[in-house]
Amino acid sequence: MRRIIALGDSFVVGDLDDFGPGHNYNPDFPPTHGMGYTERETYLRYNVSFVSLISKQLNYELVNIATRGSGNYRQLDNLMEFISNNTLTPDDIILYGICTTTRDRRSIFIDDSMPHHQQPGACIKNATGQQDADVELYDLFYILSILNQISTTYNVRIIKFNIFDNTLDNFKDSKFIYKTNDFIGQEFKTNTLVDILNDTFGILSNEGKKPYHIHLKIDKDYEKFYTWNKHPSILGHQKLAEWFLRNIDFKK
């Protein structure tokens, strides 16, 4: 049986905003429904998430190792464990959700006591005390480069997609070339899971960078596709799965 390995953040976990530490529980949806935290998370990963619906439709095995609130480097480490354990095969299909790059080096707290030469270069504060705005652009380039190298070296297909924002929205003139195989909608600014849910995928837009998902303003007609905290709802995950199955050839 072929296998899908899914990586990303809460959108890929299938988080319905009804469970877990740090959440404001939805009073209309008790946090456990008789399940413990770990059991509930596992249920969402393998029964609610759009990647689980895709794998069931294709009759593929699923390994969902997405992590709530994750950044990209964490997900790359998770993927590298398959290589380290010699369990990655050419028959695998990797669905890699690109997390917001604000969670990568942008989120690093620069300790002024850290020796200058040990600080990540693009994270060093400039003369105005601000971090270099290009750090997210650099991180995206590094992440895509690593994924390309893994795909080539281990002859494995990696299908990449933006989750709820597009790093390139902030950069009109990029000096880097981001052309890469199997990056869904890389020719569009509107190429996120949110755009699929809102029927704006591939539509010309002059909007700037999308807000963090909890701050999204959702048209009334599309509210059914979201939870109270702006994650995909059960209907939202069904819509995402149907879109992927219509537009992505998983058999090749």
Domain membership flag for residue 81: yes
Q: Domain limits at 85?
A: 3-108+144-247
In this structure, the chain runs to a length of 252
Confidence (pLDDT) at 106: 77
Per-chain mean pLDDT for the chain: 84
Q: In terms of Cα–Cα distance, which of 195, 163, 190 is closest to 97?
A: 163
- C-alpha–C-alpha distance, residues 142 and 140, integer Å: 5
pLDDT at 27 (0 to 100) = 46
CA neighbours closer than 13 Å in the CB half-sphere of residue 133: 8
Instruction: With respect to residue 139, please indicate whether it lies within any of the assigned structural domains.
Output: no
Higher pLDDT, 110 or 4: 4
35 pLDDT higher than 60: yes
Look up the CATH number of the domain holding residue 201: 3.40.50
pTM recorded for the entire structure = 0.87
CA distance 71 to 103: 5
Asked if residue 160 belongs to a domain, the reply is yes
83 or 30, which is more confident: 83
- Domains held by the chain: number: 1
Give domain status of residue 117, yes or no.
no
Instruction: Of 42, 38, 41, 54, give the one whose Cα is nearest residue 5.
Output: 54
Where do runs of H (alpha helix) occur along 85-128?
Answer: none
Q: What is the pLDDT of residues 186-205, one digit of tens each?
A: 888 899 999 999 999 998 76
The answer to whether position 58 is within a domain reads: yes
